[in-house]
Amino acid sequence: MKTIAIIPARGGSKRLPGKNTKLLGEIPLLAHSILYAKQHNFIHAVYVSTDDVVIKEIALQYGAIVIDRPQALSGDLEPTVSALKHVLESIDEIIENVILLQATNPLRPQNLLQNAFAIFQEQQTNSLFTVSRSHHKLGKIINNRFIPYNYEVGQRSQDLEPLYYENGLLYISKSSVILNNEIITKDAFPLEVNHPFANVDIDTQEDFDYAEYLLNKKNF
């Protein structure tokens, strides 16, 4: 039974054109996730799902296997799970586990995936995903009034009830989960990761600039 990594990377980004092929450091954005996956010997193969010729060339150059994604699965509103499911249905091998690495989250702590996979196996859960704690004072705006949601006015930030957000660094799922059109199951293990890299999710030029800033720092 095998474990594979899948990196969905379609073309046609509107807010940051060509972001998956844009150089972050000295290599394309996409290549960061490919090389990260290939460092782990429990990953038997790295697949890139794409509808873009340039992305395909880069993926092949960095040692990934490319699955050509049909246009019907490449729209802006198409869920990520459809690309993962298409990969599984396109290969002949029996796959036990799928590791989803998003190209737009190119920076990850070095030991994160190895530790996450060990926890995934120990917990014997159907899925695992990474989360980070939010320290924001959140609220709703109702009838032009701000209504605090997770705090009371005057409360210190350090006294907030812990709330967490899905940071996108990585996901691990049983292949049966993917084939059932899910990524995160009800029993998913939330792995807490509080690291500057968890704040990087590239959608705009400002996001990209922040990733470059963190990449150039040497103390991570």
Is there a domain that residue 157 lies in? no
> Whole domain around residue 52: which residue ranges?
2-132+166-215
Is there a domain that residue 161 lies in? no
Average pLDDT over the chain, rounded to whole? 94
- Rounded Cα distance, 44 and 37, in Å: 10
Is there a domain that residue 145 lies in? no
So what's the pLDDT on residue 135? Answer: 87
Is 157 a residue whose pLDDT tops 80?
no
| Total number of domains in the chain | 1
- Rounded Cα distance, 147 and 88, in Å: 45
Q: What is the CATH number of the domain that holds 37?
A: 3.90.550.10
Dig out the tokens for 142 from the structure: 């109702």
At a CB cut-off of 8 Å and minimum separation 6, what does 15 contact? Answer: 203, 204
Is the whole model's pTM more than 0.85, yes or no?
A: yes
Is there a domain that residue 144 lies in? no
Is there a domain that residue 92 lies in? yes
Is there a domain that residue 44 lies in? yes
Is there a domain that residue 142 lies in? no
Q: Which tens digits make up the pLDDT trace of 177-200?
A: 999 999 999 999 999 999 999 999
Is 116 a residue whose pLDDT tops 90?
yes
Question: Poorest-confidence range of 5-14, 91-100, 152-161, 172-181?
Answer: 152-161
In degrees, to the nearest 5, what angle opens at C-alpha 201 toward C-alphas 199 and 204? 120
Tell me the pairing of strands 27-28 and 23-24.
antiparallel
So what's the pLDDT on residue 147? Answer: 93
Is there a domain that residue 137 lies in? no
